[in-house]
Structure 1
C-alpha cells in the first residue's frame, strides 16, 4: 500500500472506529448491518473503489444481500497490494535503499502537516478516510500471507463479511456534526483553545523579549565607545577641549592622551590617529594641534589671517557601523561642539588678557567667531547613499525569507525525485541541489545591487568584487537555509505545527544582536558573533564601505563556512530520523487496522453463533 494513502487515515477516525468496535453489540447489529459503498466517484476515491459484494460472497458469508451495481469498475488496487506486501514476510526483503525515499515522497512543505489531510476540505477528508479504510478492510489479511490459495479465498470471504458489518459504522463515525450538536464537546474544545493561547502567547512574549532585551538600557552602555582626545597638556586650548569632552552627556568615554604618547612628530598625528580609527582600535579621535593656543594668540596680536579650522579635528568612520554612527556619534560630536562654544568666551578672556585695548578692538570680529571642529569621516560620502541600507540592513532579512521560500517552493520536485532515487542517491541529490539553489539565488541578489548602481566594488576591483559579493550572498543563504532545512524536517517528524514558530524565533534571534554594536547590548548577546545574519552584516559592511578587512572578514567567512559544513553534515541524519519516525507511524496504523480486523472477525463469529442458537418462531 502506498504510504500516502495510508497516511490519509487520520488518528481520530481510527481511534473512534476502534472504540466503537469494542463497545458494539453484535446481537443488536444483526438486522441493522448493511454494506457500505462509497458514493459518487471523485478525485480522492477514484484510486481504490470498494466493489459491492458478489452473490457468491454473500452465500459463503451467510448474509443474503442482493447484488447490485455501484457504478464502479473493480481493478487491481495498489492500496491492497501494498497492504498485502507489508503484512507478509516478503516485506523484510524490501531494499533498504528505498525506505528513506519512500517516506520523503509524503513530505509536505514547511508549516503544513506531514499528512495530506489537514489542507483538505472536510468532505474531501471524509472521502479519503472512507476510501482508505474501506479498501484496507476489504484487503486480504496480511497474517495469512504464507497460506495457500484456498486459505486466501476463505480469508477474503471472511473479510467481505466483516466489511458488510463494519463499513456502515465507519461511515457513521466519519460523519460531521454541527457546532451546537450535543455530541460536540464545547468545553473540551474551549479548554484546548485556551491552552493553545497561553502557549503561543508565552512563546511570542519570549521571542519578542529576546529582541527588546538587546535594546534595554542601551543608553547606559554608550560609555563603551572609546574616544581618544589627543592634546598638548600645557596648552590652554587643549585644556578647554578636554573640559568640553567631559560635558558630553553619556555618549562615549573620552580619554585624554598627551600627544607625546602617540608621536613626537606633530605632523604625523592625523595619519596615526586615522589609522587607529580605520583599524577599529578606537571608535573615534579628537586631535588638538600642539601649541594651538599659542598660534591663535600670535595671530590675534599680529592681526594676521589665521585659519582656525585646523586647530581641532574629529576623526571617525561611518562605515564601521552605519546605524550607530548616524544614531549616536553625530549627536555626540554636536554636543562636543556646543560645549566648547559655551566655554570659548572663558578661553578668549584668558587669552585676551595679554592684549591691549587697541588690539582687542582690531580683532573683535575674530574673537566673536566660534572655533569649529573639523570633522573627518574616513568613509567616502558617495558610499553613504540611502539606498545602501537595502543590502546592508533589510536585504539580510529578505535573504532569510528567501532561504525559507526556496525550501517550500522546491518541495514538490524533491518529492517527485524521491520516488525514483535510492536513498544514497537521494541524499546526494538534496545536498547538491540545495547548494546549486543558493548559488543561483545569490547571483540574483547580487545582480539586484548592480542594477540599482550600488557600489559593490569598493573593497575589491570590478570582477573580483562582483564574485566576492556573490560568494558572500551564497554563504549567507546556505548557512540560513541549511539550518532551516534541518530544523523543518526534524519538526515535521515530531511536531509540524511548531515550524512557523521556529522560523520566527530563528529570524528574531539573528536580528537582535545585528543592527547595533554588540557592545551596546548585554553580554548575553555576544552569541551574535556566531549567527549567520550578524556575520553577513559585518561582511557586507566590509564590501560596501571598504572597512578594515582583517578586523572582521576572516571571522565572518569562517563562521559562515562552518554553518554550511555542519548543516550539510547533519542533513542526512535528519532525513534518516524523519524516515524512521514516519515508518514507525505507518507500522502503528497497520497494526491498529489488523487488530480491528481480528476484533471484527470475533464479533462476526459471536454473532453467527447467537443467530444459530436463537429458536425459530413456531
Structure 2
C-alpha cells in the first residue's frame, strides 16, 4: 500500500467517524479493515524491501512480470476494438466525500462487526494475560521461599586456635560448638569447619600465613563469608589475664567475620551482611550461657583471678565477638544505580536502537543485494553498539565512578569493551526475537523487550544459590556475566572467572550473528510466499 493511498484511507476513515449517518457511495474495494490490516507492520521492518534484496528481484523485473501476465480473450480483435466507439471517460469519485457507513454499537446491522471486535479483544486479553503471567512468574519466582535456601550459601568457619601445652583451645571449642550444635545457626548457611591442621596445610601449599589463606579463600570466592578464630586466640587471652594487660581487647582481638562486598554488590549487601548480623545476634545470646569466661578463669589460680578482677576487669566483663572485616568495601552510593539497573538500561537502549534503525534498514534493503544487505547491517549494528556503550561508560564516569580499581587508567577502555560485549550479545538476541515475533504476531514485539529484561535481571539481584534451581540458567545470560565483569573492573574482585564471563558473551555474539542470515532468509521467503499467494488469488 503506497503512502498517499494509506493517507487517503486514513482520512476517509476519520471523515466517516465524525459524520453521524453517512452512507458509503463506493464499492468495497476501498474499505479499510483496521482489525486485519498488516501493511503498517510489514513496512516497519522493511519486509518488502528485504524480500526483494534476498531474492535478487528488482522493481523493473516485477513490473515486467505483470506486463507478461496473459490477458483474457474477449472474442474481438484489436482492429474491431479500435472501430468500436470509446466509452465516455469515468472519473473516480473523491474518497474524501465518501465515508464508511456509521452505526450505533448495538444496531442489528453491526452485529457481525461487533462479534469480530469482541473476539479480537478476547484474543488480545489472552495474549496479554499469558504474557504478563509469564513475566511475573519468572521475576517473582526468583524470590519464592528464598529464606529457606540460606543453607545453600557456603560459609567457612576457620578455627586456627589450638591446644598449647596443658592449655586447651577454649575459644575455638566454644565457637565450633556454636556453629555445629545450635539448630538456628544451621539454617543460616552451609558451614564448613576447618581446624588448625587443615588451615596450616592449605596455607603452606599457597605459601601463605594462616590469616592470608583465610583472606585468600574469601577473595577467590570459595566461601561467601568466613568466621575466623585467630591462631592461638585462647593463649593470647590467657597471657593477657596473667599479665593483667590494660591494652588487650578481647572484643576485637580474638575473632573476625570476613567477606567482600565487591564480590556481589547486590547479594552481599542485601543477604550476606544480613545473615552475618543475625548470626552475631544469636552468638551474643549464646555466649553468656556457654561459660566461656568461666572456663578461661579456671585456667588461672586464685591469686591470678583476684588480680584480673581488681586490676583488669575489662578482660572478663566483656564478651569476645567477631570483628567485621570487609575486604572490598564499596562506599560510593552511586554504584547502587549502576550495579542494580545499569545493565537494564543497556538492554532497553539496545531495543530502542532496533526501532531507530527501521528506516535505515528499509533503505539498505532497497538498494543492496541480499548478502551485501546482511553484511552491511551486521557491521552498522556493531558500530552503533560501540558508540552507545561508550556513552554509557562516559555517563558513569561523569558521576565520578572510579574505573581504575583493577586495571588502572586502562579501566575505562576495559569497562567500555565489557559494555560493548553486553550490547552486542543482547542486541543480536533481541533482533532475532523481534524478527520472529514480527513474522508470527507483530503486537508481541513489546514482550520481546519485557522478557529480555526479566530473564536477565532475575538471576542478578541475588545470589543464584538463593533462587530455585531453574534460575541457574542465569550463568549463561549476558547480563549476569556482564555484572560479574564490571565488579572486577570497578572493585578489583577476583579475576578468576573473567575468561568464562567473556567467553559466554562472545559465544552469544557469534551464535546469534551466525543465525541472522538464516532468519532474514526465512522472513524474506515468508513474505515472498505471501505475495505469491495474494497474486494467485487476484488472478482468480
Contact 2:52 2:58 in 1 (8 A): no
Q: Equivalents in 1 of 2:301, 2:85: separation in Å?
A: 123
In 1, Cα distance between the equivalents of 2:93 and 2:448? Answer: 41
The answer on 1:217 being equivalent to 2:145 is: yes
Partner of 1:179: 105
1:573-603 superposed Cα distances (whole Å, 9 cap, x missing partner):
22222222222222333333333xxxxxxxx
Distance 1:100 1:283, change over 3 A: farther
Structure 1 residue 270 corresponds to structure 2 residue 198? no
Quick one: which of 118, 121, 129 aligns to 1:190?
118
Partners of 1:498 and 1:349 in 2: CA distance: 70
**Whole-Å Cα distance in 1 between the matches of residues 231 and 347 of structure 2?**
52
Aligned: 1:589 with 2:534: yes
Query: In the TM superposition, what is the alpha-carbon distance from 1:476 to its structure 2 partner?
Result: 0.5
The equivalences for 1:38-187 within 5 A come to: 99=55, 142-144=69-71, 175=101, 177-185=103-111, 186-187=114-115
Aligned equivalent of 2:253: 310
RMSD over aligned Cα atoms: 3.9
Query: Cα deviations across residues 467-493 of structure 1 (Å, max 9, x unaligned)?
Result: 111111111011111111122122222
Equivalent residue for 1:523, pick from 452, 459, 469: 469
Q: Tell whether the 8 Å contact from 1:532 to 1:560 is kept in structure 2 after alignment.
A: yes
- Superposition pairs for residues 106-505 of structure 1, below 5 Å? 142-144=69-71, 175=101, 177-185=103-111, 186-231=114-159, 232=161, 234-246=168-180, 247=182, 249=185, 250-263=187-200, 268-305=209-246, 306-308=248-250, 309-345=252-288, 346-353=291-298, 354-356=300-302, 358-359=306-307, 360-379=309-328, 381=329, 383-462=330-409, 464-505=410-451
Offset at 1:97? 5.0
Relative to the length of structure 2, the TM-score reads 0.78
Query: What is the alpha-carbon distance in structure 1 between the residues aligned to residue 87 and residue 221 of structure 2?
Result: 82
Aligned counterparts of 2:27 and 2:412: Cα–Cα separation in 1: 71
8 A contact 2:53–2:366 mirrored in 1: no
Report the CA distance between 1:461 and its aligned residue.
1.9
Deviation at 1:100, TM superposition (A): 6.5
1:560 paired residue number:
505
Alpha carbons 1:35, 1:167 under 8 Å: kept:
no
Higher deviation after alignment, 289-298 or 388-397: 289-298
Tell me by how many angstroms 1:244 deviates. Answer: 3.2
Cα deviation for residue 99 of structure 1 reads 4.1
- The number of residue pairs the alignment matches comes to 476
- 1:201 and 1:260 map into 2 onto residues whose CA distance is 59
Structure 1 pair 282–140 and aligned structure 2 pair: CA distance change class (3 A): closer
Give the drift of 1:192.
3.3
Any conservation in 1 of the 2:405–2:490 contact (CA below 8 Å)?
A: yes
Structure 2 CA distance for aligned equivalents of residues 440 and 287 of structure 1: 47
Instruction: Tell me which residue corresponds to 2:18.
Output: none
Partner-residue secondary structure (3-state), 1:433: helix
2: CA distance between counterparts of 1:236 and 1:435? 63
Q: TM-score, normalised by structure 1?
A: 0.69
Q: Structure 1, unaligned stretches of length 5 or more?
A: 11-32, 39-94, 104-138, 596-618
1:541 alignment partner, SS class: helix
d(CA) in 2 for partners of 1:566, 1:154: 63
- Contact 1:289–1:311, Cα closer than 8 Å, also in 2: yes
Distance 1:159 1:495 in 2: 49
Structure 2: runs of 5+ lacking an equivalent: 10-24, 31-50, 60-65, 163-167
